[in-house]
Amino acid sequence: MPSVVVANDHGAVELAQRCVGYLEKMGYTVNYLGVTTTDSVDYPDMAQKACLEYKKGGYEFGVVLCGTGIGISISANKIDGIRCALPQNSYAAAMARKHNDANFIAFGGRIDYPEDPIDMLDAYMEASFEGDRHLRRVGKMMALEGSC
Protein backbone atom coordinates (compact mmCIF):
# COMPACT_ATOMS: atom_id res chain seq x y z
CA MET A 1 0.00 0.00 0.00
CA PRO A 2 1.52 3.39 -0.95
CA SER A 3 2.35 5.80 1.85
CA VAL A 4 2.08 9.59 2.08
CA VAL A 5 3.28 12.04 4.72
CA VAL A 6 1.01 14.99 5.59
CA ALA A 7 1.66 17.97 7.86
CA ASN A 8 -0.11 21.25 8.49
CA ASP A 9 -0.09 24.24 10.77
CA HIS A 10 -3.05 25.83 12.56
CA GLY A 11 -4.18 27.66 9.40
CA ALA A 12 -5.19 24.52 7.53
CA VAL A 13 -6.59 22.05 10.07
CA GLU A 14 -9.88 21.44 8.26
CA LEU A 15 -8.35 21.11 4.78
CA ALA A 16 -5.63 18.81 6.12
CA GLN A 17 -8.26 16.52 7.61
CA ARG A 18 -10.12 16.48 4.28
CA CYS A 19 -6.89 15.57 2.47
CA VAL A 20 -6.06 12.81 4.95
CA GLY A 21 -9.56 11.35 4.64
CA TYR A 22 -9.41 11.45 0.86
CA LEU A 23 -5.95 9.87 0.73
CA GLU A 24 -7.06 7.07 3.02
CA LYS A 25 -10.20 6.56 0.92
CA MET A 26 -7.93 6.25 -2.13
CA GLY A 27 -5.93 3.48 -0.43
CA TYR A 28 -2.95 5.39 0.89
CA THR A 29 -1.38 4.86 4.27
CA VAL A 30 -1.08 8.35 5.75
CA ASN A 31 1.56 9.36 8.26
CA TYR A 32 -0.15 12.44 9.66
CA LEU A 33 2.30 14.78 11.40
CA GLY A 34 0.08 17.85 11.47
CA VAL A 35 -1.86 19.60 14.18
CA THR A 36 -5.56 19.18 14.91
CA THR A 37 -6.22 22.45 16.75
CA THR A 38 -5.99 26.12 15.86
CA ASP A 39 -3.32 26.70 18.52
CA SER A 40 -0.50 28.54 16.77
CA VAL A 41 2.45 26.54 15.42
CA ASP A 42 5.14 27.63 12.98
CA TYR A 43 4.78 26.39 9.40
CA PRO A 44 8.56 26.07 8.83
CA ASP A 45 8.67 23.54 11.66
CA MET A 46 5.81 21.55 10.12
CA ALA A 47 7.43 21.62 6.66
CA GLN A 48 10.72 20.42 8.09
CA LYS A 49 9.02 17.64 10.03
CA ALA A 50 7.22 16.34 6.93
CA CYS A 51 10.20 16.67 4.60
CA LEU A 52 12.65 14.95 6.93
CA GLU A 53 10.17 12.11 7.41
CA TYR A 54 9.72 11.83 3.62
CA LYS A 55 13.48 11.67 3.12
CA LYS A 56 13.65 8.58 5.34
CA GLY A 57 12.09 6.76 2.38
CA GLY A 58 9.00 4.70 1.73
CA TYR A 59 6.71 7.58 0.80
CA GLU A 60 5.19 8.24 -2.60
CA PHE A 61 4.82 11.98 -1.91
CA GLY A 62 4.05 14.53 0.76
CA VAL A 63 1.33 17.10 1.37
CA VAL A 64 1.93 20.25 3.40
CA LEU A 65 -0.62 22.90 4.31
CA CYS A 66 -0.69 26.28 6.02
CA GLY A 67 -2.98 29.31 5.82
CA THR A 68 -1.99 30.26 2.28
CA GLY A 69 0.25 27.35 1.33
CA ILE A 70 2.95 29.86 0.46
CA GLY A 71 5.05 29.81 3.64
CA ILE A 72 5.00 26.06 4.04
CA SER A 73 5.84 25.45 0.36
CA ILE A 74 8.76 27.90 0.49
CA SER A 75 9.95 26.21 3.68
CA ALA A 76 9.66 22.73 2.16
CA ASN A 77 11.63 23.83 -0.89
CA LYS A 78 14.54 24.81 1.36
CA ILE A 79 15.07 21.14 2.25
CA ASP A 80 17.54 19.35 -0.04
CA GLY A 81 15.79 17.06 -2.49
CA ILE A 82 12.30 18.50 -2.05
CA ARG A 83 10.33 19.91 -4.95
CA CYS A 84 7.11 21.29 -3.49
CA ALA A 85 4.43 22.67 -5.81
CA LEU A 86 1.72 25.15 -4.83
CA PRO A 87 -0.84 24.66 -7.61
CA GLN A 88 -3.65 27.05 -8.41
CA ASN A 89 -5.74 24.47 -10.28
CA SER A 90 -5.82 20.82 -11.39
CA TYR A 91 -3.83 21.48 -14.55
CA ALA A 92 -0.97 23.03 -12.56
CA ALA A 93 -1.13 20.17 -10.04
CA ALA A 94 -0.80 17.55 -12.78
CA MET A 95 1.96 19.44 -14.56
CA ALA A 96 3.91 19.78 -11.32
CA ARG A 97 4.25 16.02 -11.32
CA LYS A 98 4.50 15.45 -15.09
CA HIS A 99 7.15 18.07 -15.81
CA ASN A 100 8.74 18.98 -12.47
CA ASP A 101 8.61 15.61 -10.69
CA ALA A 102 7.24 17.42 -7.63
CA ASN A 103 7.45 15.16 -4.60
CA PHE A 104 5.37 17.48 -2.40
CA ILE A 105 2.20 19.44 -2.97
CA ALA A 106 1.04 22.35 -0.84
CA PHE A 107 -2.35 23.94 -0.19
CA GLY A 108 -3.70 26.87 1.79
CA GLY A 109 -6.49 26.33 4.28
CA ARG A 110 -7.58 29.97 4.08
CA ILE A 111 -7.62 30.24 0.28
CA ASP A 112 -10.84 30.38 -1.73
CA TYR A 113 -9.71 28.18 -4.60
CA PRO A 114 -11.58 28.29 -7.94
CA GLU A 115 -11.78 24.49 -7.72
CA ASP A 116 -11.74 22.03 -4.85
CA PRO A 117 -8.22 21.32 -3.56
CA ILE A 118 -9.19 17.63 -3.40
CA ASP A 119 -9.62 17.72 -7.19
CA MET A 120 -6.16 19.25 -7.46
CA LEU A 121 -4.74 16.57 -5.17
CA ASP A 122 -6.43 13.94 -7.31
CA ALA A 123 -4.95 15.40 -10.52
CA TYR A 124 -1.52 15.38 -8.89
CA MET A 125 -1.90 11.76 -7.79
CA GLU A 126 -3.09 10.61 -11.21
CA ALA A 127 -0.12 12.19 -12.99
CA SER A 128 3.32 10.69 -13.34
CA PHE A 129 6.69 12.11 -14.27
CA GLU A 130 7.23 12.13 -18.03
CA GLY A 131 11.02 12.08 -17.87
CA ASP A 132 12.76 12.79 -21.19
CA ARG A 133 13.54 16.51 -21.61
CA HIS A 134 11.97 17.17 -18.22
CA LEU A 135 14.57 14.97 -16.51
CA ARG A 136 17.29 17.30 -17.76
CA ARG A 137 15.39 20.32 -16.45
CA VAL A 138 14.71 18.77 -13.06
CA GLY A 139 18.42 17.96 -12.84
CA LYS A 140 19.26 21.60 -13.52
CA MET A 141 16.68 22.73 -10.99
CA MET A 142 18.12 20.48 -8.29
CA ALA A 143 21.68 21.56 -9.13
CA LEU A 144 20.67 25.06 -7.98
CA GLU A 145 20.51 23.81 -4.37
CA GLY A 146 23.42 25.37 -2.55
CA SER A 147 24.99 26.69 -5.76
CA CYS A 148 24.54 30.41 -5.19
> Could you list the pLDDT tens digit for every one of the 148 residues in the chain?
899 999 999 999 999 999 999 999 999 999 999 999 999 999 999 999 999 999 999 999 999 999 999 999 999 999 999 999 999 999 999 999 999 999 999 999 999 999 999 999 999 999 998 878 898 888 888 888 877 7
**Is 148 part of any domain?**
no
Contact (Cβ atoms closer than 8 angstroms) between residue 64 and residue 82: no
**Is 83 part of any domain?**
yes
**Is 105 part of any domain?**
yes
Contact (Cβ atoms closer than 8 angstroms) between residue 22 and residue 66: no
Cβ atoms within 10 Å, residue 39: 9
**Is 30 part of any domain?**
yes
Residue positions annotated with a catalytic role: 66, 99
- Residue 64, strand partner residues: 7, 106
- Residue 86, strand partner residues: none
The domain that holds 30 is classified in CATH as 3.40.1400.10
Q: Which domain holds residue 124?
A: 3-143
Q: Is this prediction's pTM over 0.85?
A: yes
- Number of independent structural domains in the chain: 1
